[in-house]
Structure 1
């Protein structure tokens, strides 16, 4: 919840001027928390199932989803944008000195959400077994394709 507090402090607007809200705050403050948390959890499980054979074979074998965040146009009840954050690291030992070297990377991956996708349609589409291959509403795209491009 710390990230939400920081985000709120950065983007504080009067309620009348807040056209876009975090998905957890749609249709009212924290009303979407359970549905969004379930969707984020299921997406994470789907990522973990595919990770070893796809995204996690390169430099960052321990690639992990960190946070999913979506904005909603509160006036229309439609998703404006979703960003899924990932992080990965790797270490190696220098053979002569014994020094441990570390590298890390953070990825910010935009999900291919169609313009004016109703929030409820997104939740319905992303509720199942293999969510990374589920067709997103109002488009022929899947999350897997955008992650493949992002996590290079």
Structure 2
């Protein structure tokens, strides 16, 4: 095989591999949508109220965890982040979800190594459509946002955890 043919084959394989890798790559998220992160949408006092509410949510979860969700296989469930998507043109919520993580560790009696099983959950908040972020923050402004009725509903964030995630 001549040097020219060899170089041509090499170039062809490189191009084919490059195209195949691009086809297998994850698609890029759309950049023309109107939904943004709730914390990007808010500012000032509303943003402060949001962060205060999410701290109380975590505290509420920590208070009930041992007696409910954290009594089983994963006994160290940690609340990571509560987040919502907001339509930047209307202020309406697209979705809210709370993420959690946990682990269970076992010692391998033969090798002495630690075997870890990881768990993670994305728990949706059962919100009605066309709820504005300001209404959600107002509804959850008390000391127990985990148990507070969501706007336009009798359901709570806790109901979402029970129905969507842990039981």
- TM-score, normalising length: structure 1: 0.80
**1:59-102: CA deviations, max 9, x gaps?**
11110011121011222221111011100001122345433221
Contact kept? 2:49, 2:141, Cα under 8 Å: no
Match of 1:69 in 2: 83
1:50 to 64, 68, 71: 64
In structure 2, how many angstroms separate the alpha carbons of the residues matched to 1:46 and 1:12? 36
SS at match of 1:131: coil
1:151 aligns with 2:166: yes
- 1:99 and 1:77 map into 2 onto residues whose CA distance is 50
135-144 or 30-39, which moves further after superposition?
30-39
CA deviation after TM superposition for structure 1 residue 54, in Å: 0.6
Match of 2:124 among 72, 86, 110: 110
Whichever of the two has the greater Rg, that structure is: 2
Q: Specify the alignment match of 1:124 in structure 2.
A: 138
**Long gaps (5+) in structure 2:** 1-27
Q: Which residue of 2 aligns with 1:26?
A: 41
Q: TM-score, normalised by structure 2?
A: 0.74
How many Å apart are 1:12 and its aligned residue? 3.6
Aligned equivalents of 1:64, 1:58: Cα separation in 2 = 14
| Aligned-residue RMSD, C-alpha | 2.0
